A and B are shown apart, each in its own frame.
Chain A
Amino acid sequence: MLSVQNLSKSFRTDEIETIALASVNIEIEMGDFVAVMGPSGCGKSTLLNIIGMLDTPTSGSYRFKGEEISQYGENKLADLRKRNIGFIFQSFNLIDELSVFENVELALLYHDVPARARRERVLDVMEKVGISHRAQHRPAQLSGGQQQRVAVARAVVANPALILADEPTGNLDSQHGAEVMELLKQLNNEGTTVVMVTHSRTDAGHAKRVLNLLDGHVMAEGLRAA
């Protein structure tokens, strides 16, 4: 699905150069479920952003579905991103002014999906994550777990091949966290590739592979029996 070779990312502020990622090599196959772990500041989120095409590497190669995209411009990346990738964030990042339905629908608005088909897919996905009864509510009226389920629905409504989740359970209690992890697992079982950044060993336990990052280097790769 994607292959990262010798990938480095550094940030430059005034005089200081901070290296977030140093010569990282990662291969992720179609249908994989990878958990990325590591202490704060080790480069987990940077890696996820680059994989998610929200950021570009300083050097190295990033091949996505066989395409070398490390030198792509913003518009090309945006196009590739919206067709292939869904995001789930720790802080949900729902739009307060829009209803649950509208939040989920938003992901399709930029895909030129006709209104009817859009509606069907949104209802379908909401059914799947179990928030259909909250369709007309505002995010602020939902619990954290429900909000994250809306975020999951939004991430998958466009049928992405890859879901990137940045600490999806970080703001949730253990029960709601488990529910969200179940959803992710279910999606993975249905064929979606999932890459998830997490601090939680429990959550990482749901993944097929765990990637440990420290100071921008991949330290170890543990394979888990599915």
Chain B
Amino acid sequence: MFKSYFTVAVRNLIENRLYTAINIFGLVVGLASCILILLYVRHEVSYDSWIPDADRIHLVQTRFQIPGREPIMAGGTPGPAMAALTKDFNEIESAVRLTRQSLVLARGADVFREDVILADPTFFDVFDLPLVNGNRETALADVSSVLLSEKAARKYFGDTPPLGQVLPMTFNSGLRRDYRVAGVFKDFPTNSNFEFTVLVPINPSDFEKQPWVLESWTSVNGGLFLKLKQGADAAVISKELPEFERRNIPNQSIGGQDFATSDFIELGLLNLEDVHLHGWQSSISKAPTDERIVTAFAVVAGMILLIAGINFTNLATARASQRAREVALRKALGARRAQLVFQFLGESVLLTAIAFILALGLVYMSLPLYNTILQRELGLGMLAGTELVALMITFIVAVGLVAGLYPALYLSRFLPARILKANKSAAAEGSGRLRMALVIVQFAISIGLLICTTVIYSQTIYARSIDVGFDRTNLLVVRAPFGDQHGTLRSSLASEAAKLPGVMAVTLSDNVPTDPGSNNNIFEIPGKPSPSPILIAQRTVDYNFFETYRVPLLAGRYFQNDRGGDDFTGSDEDKVARGGNIILNESALESLDLRTPEDAIGKTFYIAVGDGEDQSQSAVTVVGVVADVTYMSVRDFNEPTFYQRDEQRFGNITLKLSSASFSATINAEMERLWRELAPTLPYRSEFMEVLIEEQYRAEEAAATMFGAFSVLAIVIGCLGLYGLALFSAERRTKEIGIRKVLGARVRDIVRLLVMEFSKPVLIANLIAWPVAWLFMRDWLDAFQQRIDLSPVIFVAAGLAALGIAWVTVGSHALRAARENPIRALRYE
């Protein structure tokens, strides 16, 4: 019995090669896409869930909610929060702060710049990670001990056992210390928020010159991770946080005015496993993935599976007439319906199983490209053997059983007497209607995906080409060290760079656009005390910065080096005594109650000077207003910003080149200069255009993949349509013959068949348009600068789908229409 089923199944598959090919190809591509997407989704949702007790570890995030400003969201925590939280909440078992610093590591004559994580010695109490080498208990006890990842250990010590080796490191502050390797930890896997390779303990006394890092409630320079006690509820802490903030965050007094700082700071707990998808930007963890991208991918996977499943169902029922005779005969010979259902389900399961195995092969082959685009390291190895089996069973049940069930029930329902007597197929009306309904579903999905892909892609392209407020071309950024002690180095580098042929201008600044984070200062409008602080981002630029970056001037003037007041360099006392000139950006006008750029010129404000809780004030005068420069991405608002010139805060040197063709040469020249002037520091430089592109790379990759999978979904849908058109043409052979005998021309017939498949496409448009519109409106809402949701996209997607359907169906229609009608009509 079983053998007969199997024989029939296999022979059926072989005999109907084209249908089998359509079915299997569609399933293989569909399943492969699903597996690829699932690998990605699984990777994205599994960030740090492998860390022991991840469910008990929470990151404390900070939201600064200042009236009149868009809230500032930081994926980190003010330094003093650790002591205060552990004191107030006994649910906390342990806590650790992580902060990142860019340090210079020396190994012999070689110098390297590394992003080093500084952590409290409690690191291993929170993160229960094993050491490959060394003792966890003592590893962070000593301020001069360092832990390296296996990769870093290899980089610095090769095959030499790293334990006990000495690694000198230099901080930006100029502090230099010989660190001793106290342990080696495993490299972080790709599904981790962390990717640091060097870990050293925080030594509070190192931060005396930068008190804001560990001691300021209004500065976020790292993240605090809490490990809660077994059974403790994070929600309980969250609920009490507002009260906690009021108790613990001291008021700030600026120029004699008191502000309740706690009103503007909102702490929140985020479970470690949620950080990658829900966390805010932070310096200690990798860039988060927009959860909506992961969701969109998962949805696309489901859609592809649905489309492939529909193909399966449709082709199986369409082919029913061919199987009717077999069913009738088996029934006549005594088969019960259940046996036939079993037989047909067996066939669909067999087909799915074959497809699944081929799909695994396809996944294996396409992974390298997939990983390159998505910048991940996904592999089938991520799935344990049992998971693979589970996945296979899921797919076989989903596709083989669900998609095969209707055809099985439908086929097994045939009444043998009718079929054998009528000597013809039981062309059931119902199944035709179901097929059309399913085709509508397929096309609605395809059109929807087409619209979404176009919108997402257009937005991505738009985001990349958006006006950033300055001329991004031919800008070479040399990452010079911050700090007063490097002032001479910076100015000699800058003056030497200016002498290089092909360099049009050289300027200095604290940060450059695309650098994360911002410093903010509190403004006071004379005679208009504000109930809440007016927070304005503070940026430091050299005289010629705006000319070099080509930032348009809206009113007043740029900084000039022959105007004494334009230079703000000096001690805090100097600044308070002298005051100075500033330039505002356009967005700052509203914060400062200024109506037009011209209004701003000559106005005087007070800004805070110095750190700590009691700050003095300095009078500043606006001499110019410039257009907004996009420092972050289009997702963010342009911050109200003021610019001042303060040599002590400079870090980056930007070179404006006369032409892109010199860029490599000038970069090499700069490196040579650097090695001459700063042999103990590593050279690092970047091109502004590349920096901007990198901001959008993840989104572009996601958009590309989303587009690719959408196209696949459409291709699979078209395959099904191709098969259906083939059946339809076959089924209607007689009708076509009759029509031709009655005088129909070839084009009448082609039109007839093409129209049969146009109706479902048109109906599908009506379903897809509103759904896609709703989704895309929400999606675009997350961007501050976005494209319009143009109806052209919708109509174009609909027409494209119609065109695709016509091309798919047209070839069959043409062949059927050209057929000599005699053949169709001679025999029944």
Contact = CB atoms under 8 A, between A and B. Distances in A.
B735 A95 contact: yes
Contacts of B738: 93-95, 106
Contacts of B741: 52, 54, 81, 87
Q: In the complex, which of the residues B742, B748, B820 has the most CB atoms of chain A within 10 Å of its own CB atom?
A: B742
A93 B742 contact: no
B533 to A, nearest CB: 77
Contacts of A52: 741
A75 interface: yes
Q: In the complex, which of the residues B734, B738, B744, B820 has the most CB atoms of chain A within 10 Å of its own CB atom?
A: B738
A91 interface: yes
B825 interface: yes
Nearest to A74: B746
A78 B745 contact: yes
B203 to A, nearest CB: 86
B737 interface: yes
Contacts of A54: 741, 820-822
B815 to A, nearest CB: 15
A81 B821 CA distance: 13
Interface string B723-757: 00000000000110111111111001000000000
Contacts, number: 49
A212 interface: no
B337 to A, nearest CB: 24
B743 A81 contact: yes
A78 B743 contact: yes
Given A78-B740, A97-B735, A91 B745 contact: no
Contact of B743 (A45, A79, A94, A95): A79
B324 to A, nearest CB: 15
B821 A110 contact: no
Q: Which label, helix, strand, loop or mixed, suits the secondary structure of the B interface?
A: helix
A55 B822 contact: yes
Contacts of B427: 96
Interface string A161-203: 0000000000000000000000000000000000000000000
B375 to A, nearest CB: 54
A93 B825 contact: yes
Contacts of B826: 45
A82 B739 CA distance: 10
Nearest to B821: A54
A200 B471 CA distance: 94
Interface string A87-111: 1010101111100000000110111
A96 B742 CA distance: 16
Contacts of B745: 75, 78, 110
Nearest to B824: A93
Contacts of B828: 91
A79 B744 CA distance: 9
Nearest to A81: B743
Contacts of B743: 78-79, 81-82, 107, 110-111
Contacts of B734: 93, 95
A79 B745 CA distance: 9
21 contacts: A45-B826, A54-B741, A54-B820, A55-B822, A78-B740, A78-B743, A81-B741, A81-B743, A82-B743, A89-B825, A91-B827, A93-B738, A93-B825, A94-B738, A95-B734, A95-B738, A97-B735, A107-B742, A107-B743, A110-B739, A110-B742
Interface of B: 427, 734-735, 737-745, 748, 820-822, 825-828
Rank and list the top 10 A-B pairs by shortest CB-CB distance, nearest first: A82-B743, A110-B743, A91-B828, A95-B735, A107-B742, A54-B822, A93-B738, A49-B822, A110-B744, A87-B741
Interface of A: 45, 49, 52, 54-55, 75, 78-79, 81-82, 87, 89, 91, 93-97, 106-107, 109-111, 154
